[in-house]
Amino acid sequence: MTSPFSPYVADAARYEKLPYDRIGRSGLRLPRISLGFWNNFGSDRSLETQRDIVLRAFDRGVTHFDLANNYGPPYGSAEEQFGRILHANLRPYRDELLISSKAGYDMWPGPYGDGGSRKYLLSSLDQSLGRLGLDYVDVFYSHRPDPETPVEETMGALATAVKQGKALYVGISNYDPEQTRAAAAALAAEGVPLLIHQPRYNMFDRRPEQGLFETLLELGVGSIVFSPLAGGLLTNRYLDGHAPAGSRAAEGRWMTENNLDETYLSRVRALNEIAGARGQSLAQLSLSWVLRQEAVTSALIGASSVAQLDDSLDALHAADLTTDELAAIEPLAVDGTGSGR
């Protein structure tokens, strides 16, 4: 365990520990698994635990750390916590890190505190840089499409961030295929390429297979998928049909025990058997499954402990899924499973 005041020296063998993949047609590469700060990082959690997770990730070769303006809770606290870790322990390694942030959802009161306007995006980026203690982020995203703002304005704001030196690359998240094409065209008109898309994708949410992945491959845009474990539904946490204390289903913020219906349980238990036959945990199988997609550059995981982080990263040691295994998974990987509907 690293003290806030102990000198940190990264593992010299870190870049031998996991693979990296090129993002679309760019010159940039991402680790096949990246660390995200949604839900698990904020001022309601121990800074020491968060530091241990971040430093363990970097020691194992994870170079990409994904944030957003409103990650926490409360809003902004994930960036503040990561900024403290960066300042205390990772500052000498800044040029080895890919740090991303986003804006698009609710952040502060009033008409300029969410959406896709130029005012909101650029103001939010300045605030994020202040919380992180950085001059620039490596990737700045439009977190969601805003139907009330022209895509040219939103993408123009992202292009301005690049031209001002406050972001090296730009991306989008939660855009459908048509919106993605429009965003790429608007950025191209500004002379800035669309680097990456961040969609939700897992065995129980397969919407990106309905045209988005095909669009990204055609455009030469990479993707990093979030929620590859379906918020914990694709782990062994709920196999007995109950929500353990501290789980998302127990907290009731994003799901409840209503999500753990018989259809979900029958499918997730069968998937767990397939994982066991491969010598994997269910979470590891779920990561292997999303990473099979040609369009997927990296899978974005969260972690509330070092052990949970290690289990996810160990998915990269497994053999590729065979044709027979994919065929066995297919009838179980049903869109909408665990939705509680």
| Each residue's pLDDT expressed in tens, for the chain with a length of 341 residues | 555 546 899 999 999 999 999 999 999 999 999 999 998 888 888 999 999 999 999 999 999 999 999 999 999 999 999 999 999 999 999 999 999 999 999 999 999 999 999 999 999 999 999 999 999 999 999 999 999 999 999 999 999 999 999 999 999 999 999 999 999 999 999 999 999 999 999 999 999 999 999 999 999 999 999 999 999 999 999 999 887 765 665 565 667 778 999 999 999 999 999 999 999 999 999 999 999 999 999 999 999 999 999 999 999 999 999 999 999 999 999 999 998 66
Q: Which residues pair with 99 in a beta bridge?
A: 65
CA dist 233 and 247 (Å) reads 10
Per-residue pLDDT tens over the stretch 53-86: 999 999 999 999 999 999 999 999 999 999 999 9
Helix (H, G, I), strand (E, B) or coil at 196: strand
Report whether 34 contacts 57 (CB < 8 A). Answer: no
Which residue segments constitute the domains of the chain, with CATH numbers given?
28-198 (3.20.20.100)
CA dist 109 and 77 (Å) reads 17
CA count, 13 A, side-chain hemisphere, 226? 19
Per-residue pLDDT tens over the stretch 120-163: 999 999 999 999 999 999 999 999 999 999 999 999 999 999 99
Check residue 249 and give its pLDDT.
59
Q: What is the dihedral of CA 22, 23, 27, 32, to 10 degrees?
A: -40
Tokens of 89: 């322990």
Task: Tell me the C-alpha to C-alpha distance, in Å, between residue 217 and each of 33, 82, 179, 273.
Answer: 20, 32, 15, 33
**Burial per residue of 131-170, b for 16 or more beta-carbon CB atoms within 10 angstroms, e otherwise:** bbebebbbbbbbbbbbeebebbebbbbbbbbbeeebbbbb
